Amino acid sequence: MSRDRFLSDAARVAGWIADYRERLPDLPVLARTEPGATAARLPAAPPEGPQPLEAILADLDAVIVPGLTHWNHPGFFAYFSSSSADPGVFAEFVAAALNVNAILWRTGPAATELEGRMMEWMRRFVGLPEGFHGVIQDTASSASFTALVAARERALPGTRDEGLAATGASARPVVYQSDQAHSSIDKAAVAGGIGLANVRHVPSDGRFRMRPEALEEAIRIDREGGRTPVMVTATIGTTSSTSVDPVEAIADVCAAHGIWLHVDAAYAGPAASLPELRPLFRGWERADSIVLNPHKWMMTPVDCSVLLFRDPEAFRASLALTPEYLRAEEAASNLSDIGLPLGRRFRALKLWFLFRWYGADGLRSILRRHVEMARAFRDWVERDPRFETAAPAPFSTVCFRAVPPEGGGPEDAWNRRLLAAVNARGRVFLSHTVLDGRFTLRLAIGSAWVREEDVTAARSELETVFEDMTTKGADAC
Amino acid sequence: MSRDRFLSDAARVAGWIADYRERLPDLPVLARTEPGATAARLPAAPPEGPQPLEAILADLDAVIVPGLTHWNHPGFFAYFSSSSADPGVFAEFVAAALNVNAILWRTGPAATELEGRMMEWMRRFVGLPEGFHGVIQDTASSASFTALVAARERALPGTRDEGLAATGASARPVVYQSDQAHSSIDKAAVAGGIGLANVRHVPSDGRFRMRPEALEEAIRIDREGGRTPVMVTATIGTTSSTSVDPVEAIADVCAAHGIWLHVDAAYAGPAASLPELRPLFRGWERADSIVLNPHKWMMTPVDCSVLLFRDPEAFRASLALTPEYLRAEEAASNLSDIGLPLGRRFRALKLWFLFRWYGADGLRSILRRHVEMARAFRDWVERDPRFETAAPAPFSTVCFRAVPPEGGGPEDAWNRRLLAAVNARGRVFLSHTVLDGRFTLRLAIGSAWVREEDVTAARSELETVFEDMTTKGADAC
């Protein structure tokens, strides 16, 4: 492959990306496609002969783009809005070209050490004290699972060797989290052999925050039954409503009982960089492990989840294994000792590019702007009699619902219909949750690409559909 | 961000990559750096203000590249040589720009369906029968872990809910693999709560292949003890010596006992596309699950590991969870139901670009060339009295060792010294293993960038250092 050919191909690909970005605001943000439609347009077998780059890029336009939900669309307000700004996109391009696989320090010394340094930058950025180390994982699911395996070994030493079956049913491990915690913590308990029945979903209060006295009570009952508390997960910014557990009080409970405290700040974590929001994070510095995702609210392409922790040895003791063919001469820490995967992409490059491209101050400005946009939207919801808020909105996500007009039928059905109709229009994409048993709409702001006019569009789409439903009847919309 | 700015930045990054590639053959393939050296050159805190792309790229050259081991270097023959050819590099660039996160079908319909199609292309490419489905995982470690969790639930239904502690010590789960199997299978057993003591490392024969009668015996003993066989892993192309387990006979044992058969073909899998090597894969079509890694011997940037399986429901039953905030209207399969991570990068794009760029026939030609280069190297080892082969070389990896001259001292020490000296010279990078208790050198061919002259260089580096050690004494080298 010649230099000229590479450069001209790269220019062609960059041109495709630039074109895509230009028409992105005009594309429907939520894919307008049926299950199976894209697959039907793809051959069942690979071609035997080579095809030119032009043909591949043409099919990107013809076959793939029409079937995509566009995460970088400025009207993407669903789930947690995430985006890939330029520094991360370029870093991925470079990382793919380098193809460094930092299994061991030796197989990627600079990749290993840059990752360590970026964890330190992240620690400082979010205002955590010294004493935290970190590694990058693909997702919060993997990060929380890794933490759970370390906590499991600490609570039940020897599990690594003997397995959980040796524990016995009466001493079985138990984990705790609020009834608002993310499903990934449940999944981690399933994967780690702890079992869903041994996950205590501690009741939350009226603002969707774990009740520490209920946690204490659950632990007491389990202890009396001979069971083994393994880990408590506190969440700062739950996925459903972005509620904030009382981490300080939960940390007290964990300290009193010697239980591993894991803090899930996958979404909200980067907001700890804002002094005005820092109080929401009180107590998280007492955690044994914390997860926060730059690929959520920090404009980094998926995947980049940061796992911070106090005791690297607890992780190594639970999972590290070094076969002969991976033994190296030098004494250096290997990233793959912490976590399940052995192979490791050069993801630290994304954080390095990101921090330098924007600067810490630039990143804070963007986050602050997102918070302000969310507050403006919330204020509108509170002012408009057709809508009401459904939960506090401490970060950049607003939970709300429509109040059906006289004769509009049940609230849940009205809101489901409203959401489906808004999303079908293609200008914005919102998602939902259920709070207090009631269907609830969510608008999450967090993209590098979001503009004031996009939040205004969300508002006017909601208003338009609401009025249509009122005039024509919900079933007609 | 304007279109012009993006295009000029992209051109700058592409130019950096082209420059890097041009000087790559002249860089030392194994990093010449000490632990801590790169970290010491990186600031302890992120910058407050923004920095230009030029500064970032300049530091890539000044700080990062000197501390890297270069996986795309044509002299990289260590571990399993892997590489990132252009189609995968461009696909990563596009994937990062799209930032699609195919958690659910709805959040990336075309990404979900392209992944399904690519699994079908892969199945056809490697000649597996219909009835296999698949998903992409980050690494074989994760893929094998996912298979183990599914196998665990099949063998011990209810583990998902009750956990392994409810199983009881006497019925504890046990997994089987040869004493040559990859450490990731051990790690999976640790992570999944099965425990290292419950991993049976079945003895291999003189050619490093699992002995099926020893497997049968191990299962019989465990069954008599009331224990629960969960999974047998057979390997086609072990990491240590690329040996091939007798999968057909192992499949018979699994069928007789109703045990999940997992085939680890992470390295060798793509070679099943070559009719002349297909006999080595006999019996793998009877597996419940198979892992093969395009990011190893198929020129795809890390990460891209393909997990193929017969029964998607076994995977969903073991791990799938859908919280309210991820419920969707449409009935479609979600990729995140199979595997631990919820977030999913658009990795299928890499396989689509790869298959189309080269064509199946082009890919086979490259693999065949690697096999031929390895055979030529093996022939040289066999002819040269200073060296000897240490294992059969059925694929593209040769295990060998030097025969110390009269007075050269112990074989192991001589080979260790030889390897360290060859690697220190920077032209090629080889790694080692231990076979039959003896230190063994490995030369693995598998890169898109490898040339005849690089394999010749490996040979002459080995000869030069051997002669130096003979003349000056091993300690002087």
Q: What's the CATH code of the domain at A106?
A: 3.40.640.10
**Are A340 and A391 found together in one domain?**
no
pLDDT given for residue B56 in this prediction: 98
Below-70 pLDDT ranges, chain B = 1
Check CB contact of A204 with chain B, cutoff 8 Å: no
Q: Does any domain span residue A73?
A: no
Question: Domain count of chain A?
Answer: 3
User: Is the Cβ pair A342, B139 closer than 8 Å?
Assistant: yes
Comparing alpha-carbon positions, the chain A residue that sits nearest to B180 is: A323
Beta bridge partners of B141: none
Q: How many residues does chain B have?
A: 477
Domain boundary among A316, A345, A374: A345
Residue A329 has pLDDT above 90, yes or no: no
Check CB contact of A424 with chain B, cutoff 8 Å: no
**Are B141 and B185 found together in one domain?**
yes
Residue A306, phi then psi, degrees to nearest 5:
-100, 125
pLDDT bracket for residue A169 (50, 70, 90): confident
**Are A109 and A218 found together in one domain?**
yes
Q: Does any domain span residue B255?
A: yes
How far apart, in whole angstroms, are the C-alpha atoms of residue A43 and residue A62?
14
User: Is the Cβ pair A141, B340 closer than 8 Å?
Assistant: yes
User: Is the Cβ pair A39, B116 closer than 8 Å?
Assistant: yes
List A residues 323-342 in contact with B (Cβ-Cβ < 8 A): 323-326, 329-332, 340-342
**Are B141 and B189 found together in one domain?**
yes
How far apart, in whole angstroms, are the C-alpha atoms of residue A183 and residue A199?
11
Check CB contact of A229 with chain B, cutoff 8 Å: no
B339: left (phi over 0), alpha (psi -120 to 50) or beta: left
Q: Which long-range contacts (CB under 8 A, 24 or more apart) does A373-379 make?
A: A373/A445, A373/A450, A373/A452, A373/A455, A374/A398, A374/A443, A374/A445, A376/A455, A377/A443, A377/A445, A377/A455, A377/A458, A377/A459
pLDDT given for residue A168 in this prediction: 83
pLDDT given for residue A1 in this prediction: 58
pLDDT given for residue B330 in this prediction: 76
- How far CA A458 is from CA of A193, A424, A444, B263, in Å, comes to 43, 13, 11, 50
Contact list, B302 vs chain A (CB under 8 Å): 99, 101, 343-345
**Are B307 and B399 found together in one domain?**
no
Picking from A395, A429, A411, the residue whose alpha carbon sits closest to that of residue A241 is A395
How far apart, in whole angstroms, are the C-alpha atoms of residue B359 and residue B347?
18
Which residues have a Cβ under 8 Å from the Cβ of B407 and sit 6 or more positions away?
Answer: none
Contact list, B133 vs chain A (CB under 8 Å): none
**Are A216 and A321 found together in one domain?**
yes
**Half-sphere exposure in the Cβ direction for B456 (13 Å, CA):** 3
- Burial readout B60-92 (b: 16 or more C-beta within 10 A, e: otherwise): beebbbbbbbbbbbbbbbbbbbbbbbbbbbbbb
**Are A187 and A138 found together in one domain?**
yes
User: Is the Cβ pair B340, A63 closer than 8 Å?
Assistant: no
Express each pLDDT in A378-417 by its tens digit: 999 999 999 999 999 999 999 999 999 999 999 999 999 9
Domain boundary among A345, A368, A391: A345
Q: Does any domain span residue B95?
A: no
Express each pLDDT in A20-63 by its tens digit: 999 999 999 999 999 999 999 999 999 999 999 999 999 999 99
Contact list, A36 vs chain B (CB under 8 Å): 113
List A residues 27-46 in contact with B (Cβ-Cβ < 8 A): 30-31, 33-39, 42, 44-46
Picking from B137, B135, B92, B346, the residue whose alpha carbon sits closest to that of residue A69 is B346
List A residues 375-414 in contact with B (Cβ-Cβ < 8 A): none
Under 8 Å CB pairs connecting chains A and B tally to 528
Mutate which: A107, A117, A322, A325, vs B, most B CBs within 10 A: A325
Picking from A458, A440, A447, A433, the residue whose alpha carbon sits closest to that of residue A239 is A433
Q: What CATH number is given to the structural domain containing B53?
A: 1.20.1340.10
Comparing alpha-carbon positions, the chain A residue that sits nearest to B137 is: A341
Check CB contact of B116 with chain A, cutoff 8 Å: yes
Domain boundary among B324, B345, B366: B345
Least Cα separation, residue B439 to chain A (angstroms): 10
Q: Does any domain span residue A227?
A: yes
Q: Would strands B260-264 and B228-235 be described as parallel, antiparallel, or unpaired?
A: parallel
Residue A475 has pLDDT above 80, yes or no: no
- The CA radius of gyration of chain B, in Å to the nearest whole number, is 24
**Are A320 and A383 found together in one domain?**
no
pTM for the whole structure:
0.97
Check CB contact of B301 with chain A, cutoff 8 Å: yes
**Are B41 and B148 found together in one domain?**
no
Residue A327 has pLDDT above 90, yes or no: no
pLDDT given for residue B1 in this prediction: 58
Residue span of the structural domain in which B47 resides: 3-68
Q: Would strands A431-435 and A305-309 be described as parallel, antiparallel, or unpaired?
A: unpaired
Which residues have a Cβ under 8 Å from the Cβ of B417 and sit 6 or more positions away?
Answer: B469, B474, B475, B477
Least Cα separation, residue A26 to chain B (angstroms): 15
Q: Does any domain span residue A194?
A: yes
pLDDT given for residue A401 in this prediction: 98
Q: What CATH number is given to the structural domain containing B399?
A: 3.90.1150.10
How far apart, in whole angstroms, are the C-alpha atoms of residue A96 and residue A98?
6
**Are B186 and B284 found together in one domain?**
yes
Check CB contact of A123 with chain B, cutoff 8 Å: no
pLDDT given for residue B266 in this prediction: 98
Picking from A303, A298, A212, A299, the residue whose alpha carbon sits closest to that of residue A259 is A212
Comparing alpha-carbon positions, the chain B residue that sits nearest to A194 is: B163
Q: Does any domain span residue B79?
A: no
Mutate which: A99, A170, A177, A434, vs B, most B CBs within 10 A: A99
pLDDT given for residue B177 in this prediction: 98
The dihedral built from the CA positions of residue A95, A99, A104 and A106, taken in this order, carries a sign that is: negative
How far apart, in whole angstroms, are the C-alpha atoms of residue B324 and residue B4?
43
Q: Does any domain span residue B85?
A: no
Express each pLDDT in A198-220 by its tens digit: 999 999 999 999 999 999 999 99
Closest Cβ–Cβ partner in B109, B190, B362 for A69:
B109
Residue A281 has pLDDT above 70, yes or no: yes
Closest Cβ–Cβ partner in B67, B96, B117 for A110:
B67
Express each pLDDT in A337-357 by its tens digit: 999 999 999 999 999 999 999
**Are A368 and A327 found together in one domain?**
no
Helix (H) or strand (E) holding A407: none
User: Is the Cβ pair A96, B107 closer than 8 Å?
Assistant: no
Closest Cβ–Cβ partner in A53, A93, A324 for B93:
A93
pLDDT bracket for residue A325 (50, 70, 90): confident
Query: Which tops the pLDDT comparison, B173 or A1?
Result: B173
Q: Does any domain span residue A78?
A: no
**Are B226 and B185 found together in one domain?**
yes
Mutate which: A71, A83, A89, vs B, most B CBs within 10 A: A89
Closest Cβ–Cβ partner in A89, A113, A183 for B323:
A183
Contact A212, A249 (CB under 8 A): yes
